[in-house]
Structure 1
Amino acid sequence: MIHILRNYLFGFVLSGIGFSVAYAQSADFVYGDLLPDAPELAARGEFSVGVRTVTWSNPNQWDIQSFAADSTPRYDRQITVEIWYPSGAEKGAGLTVYEDAMGINGDPNRPLIPFKFQGRSLRDAEPFLPAGPFPLVIVSHGFLGSRYLMSYLTENLASKGYVVVAIDHPESTFQQPGKFVSTLYYRALDDLYVLDQVAKYADGQSGSFLSGLVDVNRTALVGYSMGGYGVLNAAGAGYSQMLGRMVAQFAGGSSIMDNRIFSHPGYVPLTDTRVKAIVAFAPWGMQRGAWDEDGLKGVSIPTFLVAGDQDDISGYEDGVKAIYQGLSNSRRYMLVYQQARHNVAPNPPPTASFADGIHGEEYMRYAEPVWDERRINNINQHFLTAFLGIYLKDEQGLAEYLDLSVDSLSETWKGFKPRTSIGMQLHRASPE
């Protein structure tokens, strides 16, 4: 009887505030679709979304995979990106199928398992030039990961008038794993190389589909985990001496990282004036000594951090929160999911990860033990819409969505439905 009454009351409350439970349970649910309790700004924007795959070659780069004590070879670094953009196609024109993989290539305990999933974009659709040029968002996955890891977000932002470019970082994907030292060295450099490539093809005379579509002078970098580590460096955060020693140790004693170590006499910050804001989901490194207080002061552009206060990969108190406190020269925000661990950024777990005989790590690569990943996705869509709208589009009316009480339970946050503003904190601070 109590069980029946509880279900009745729950259904009454949901119907009273306009929820539709059937939609959330629909077999047609696609990553990034709205749950009934999604906050206001999570809804897709006015544009249909096109998507294309492009591969670029960055010549004459360090082949860190092959470094030895007496050898530092070079190679052409092949970088594949997925590009989502506003399209002139009829809104809701169709679905595309993304092909990804879970597991780790070459690991007999976690063999590579290809899988497919749908997205709400149209492959090779014509770009919608009359409304452009659009700001640029570059997205960097974790270690290991893929360019599709945050498709719920990339598609959503493209529908709101952004060109979104997600990177497959070489030697750092499920399909192409490599030495961790390659990721330590290349993350920020890959981000800025992709920015240069987009700028090249955005030129009005390039003949590319990007021609006239992108305003690279309004760029944001978004990264998750090791991607967050990279975007901080790309935005001007100098690395610590400890990280320099770590890279040298695993790169055959090479000092290739020296000019990015804040305290080194040859230090050169990687700041780029085209980058106007950064977003770092669960950024790695502080807990492991990659950053120090002086190096983090190099970031002066607006920064939005997302953290789980139980993060057991990047850490919280001595990890993401310490980064937030160290970014003292930046206008900064930190969204905290209470009782969440590290997976505050990716798509929900693939259906294929539920199958019998699949290693449990494939599910846990995406899932949160307490939170529904789909709800996290909607909340991320909401807050990044506000943050990027303010700092890339000067949509100052969105500031009220970030001017909130720290604790989500103390009052209903702007844009959240009644009784759904719970389990989060939003910290914000100005440059000191």
Structure 2
Amino acid sequence: MIKLLFCFINSFILLFPLISNASEHIGFKRIHYDIQDGRPLDIAVWYATNNKQNLITIADNAIFDGSEVIADAVPEIKSTKSPLILLSHGYGGSWRSLSWLAHALARKGYIVAAPNHPGTTGFDQNTEQSAKLWLRPQDLSKTIDALAENQTFSNIINLNQISAIGHSLGGWSVIVLSGARFDTESFKKDCNKYSYLKACHLISELGLANSELNKNMSDPRIKAFVSLDAGLTRGFTIESLQKIKIPSLIIGAGVDIGDTNTQLESGYVQEFLPKSSSTYIIIPDAMHFSFIQICKSDAIDILNQEKEGEGIICKDGGSRNRSEIHREITHLIVDFLSKTFSNYKN
């Protein structure tokens, strides 16, 4: 049943983690995957390890806090194979944007893999690649292939337990990967009505009039998905959303920042997903960027000095700090995935 929940998750809430023993050390590896298709991928992977040496800090800069990992560590040996989670970053982000979530999920026993989507990362924004938006879901499919072919991970991943999580444009990407179909003409008409939405300002940059976007981009290996304040969703056909049968968790931000309206975007998706397999949750004090990394104390000033208004990246909508919001998001996702895969076999 689709549930509309306006709630905070307290630290004492009972959870049902898929893997009961949290891992103390998190391994980290970068994979360069190139199948000579003109779109090589830089993939970051987090996983449990027993190694303690070669500790490094990743995703840390003047704006964002990073996290400590064991570089190129040997994965922890377990009696069962580990589920795989794909992470898809938003427009202008990178694998670093959701690195906090990757680290938290790896501590729960998941293997987490996040590609940089060519053309739509902060380090690689070029219209030649960004205007081929239909390749974004394919990046995630290729990430599965990359890990399945990798000597380090091929024998420890449970390919029957693959889920995908995405923020903003990444949310759009994982919904498409799960079976939603885009319709460029419907999207164009919708933008005449809701022209203030951010997605309607990116038609040229993302190639949103290209008919290639209307094709089926689903991957049957995906068994569940989570969208985090997804954007660009109003181009999805109602029929295709109704046909998505895999479990889904749709999380929206309760505080509107002006051009990413949760009710119009995440709310649109949940309206048409099957009620028996979907859950819709709004976090009241979250803003659109609450789902990315934790900001340093002087980050807002630094961002506003670079460009007025950019400090919104580090703002949240209530009295809780971002780390508390992150804990809630992690609890929601772990609970959802553990229940989803509780009856799956290795």
1:77 corresponding residue in structure 2: 39
1:192 aligns with 2:141: yes
Partner of residue 228 from structure 1, selected from 168, 171, 175: 171
Partner of residue 273 from structure 1, selected from 192, 214, 220: 220
Distance 1:138 1:294, change over 3 A: same
Q: CA separation in 1, counterparts of 2:232 and 2:93?
A: 17
Q: Is there any run of 5+ residues in structure 2 with no aligned partner, and where?
A: 1-9, 189-199
TM-score (structure 1 length as normaliser): 0.65
TM-score (structure 2 length as normaliser): 0.80
SS in 2 for 1:296: helix
Q: For residue 174 of structure 2, what is the amino acid of its counterpart?
A: V
1:298 aligns with 2:298: no
Higher RCO (CA 8 Å, separation ≥ 6 residues): 2
Say whether the 8 Å CA contact 2:184–2:211 is kept in structure 1: no
1:122-133 pair list within 5 angstroms: 122-133=70-81
Q: 1:355: how far off?
A: 4.9
Distance 1:229 1:199, change over 3 A: same
- Larger CA Rg, structure 1 vs 2: 1
| Residues 188-240 of structure 1 deviation map (CA, whole Å, 9 limit, x = unaligned) | 11111111222222xxxxxx211312112210000000000010000001112
Say whether the 8 Å CA contact 1:39–1:378 is kept in structure 2: no
Say whether the 8 Å CA contact 1:220–1:275 is kept in structure 2: yes
1:109-148 pair list within 5 angstroms: 117-148=65-96
Q: CA separation in 1, counterparts of 2:104 and 2:59?
A: 19
SS in 2 for 1:217: strand
2:212 corresponding residue in structure 1: 256
The number of aligned residues is 313
Q: CA separation in 2, counterparts of 1:391 and 1:332?
A: 11
Partner of residue 166 from structure 1, selected from 92, 104, 114: 114
1:26-425 pair list within 5 angstroms: 38-40=11-13, 41=15, 45-60=22-37, 76-89=38-51, 95-99=55-59, 117-179=65-127, 181-182=130-131, 184-201=133-150, 208-242=151-185, 251=207, 255-258=211-214, 260=215, 269-286=216-233, 289-311=234-256, 312-328=258-274, 331-351=277-297, 353-356=299-302, 357-370=305-318, 371-394=320-343
Say whether the 8 Å CA contact 1:296–1:326 is kept in structure 2: yes
Q: For residue 280 of structure 1, what is the amino acid of its counterpart?
A: S
Identity %: 20
Q: Is there any run of 5+ residues in structure 1 with no aligned partner, and where?
A: 1-36, 61-75, 102-113, 202-207, 261-268, 396-432
Q: 1:56: how far off?
A: 1.1
Say whether the 8 Å CA contact 2:91–2:168 is kept in structure 1: yes
Distance 1:388 1:58, change over 3 A: same
Q: CA separation in 2, counterparts of 1:56 and 1:139?
A: 16
RMSD: 3.0
Q: 1:94: how far off?
A: 7.8
Q: 1:164: how far off?
A: 0.2
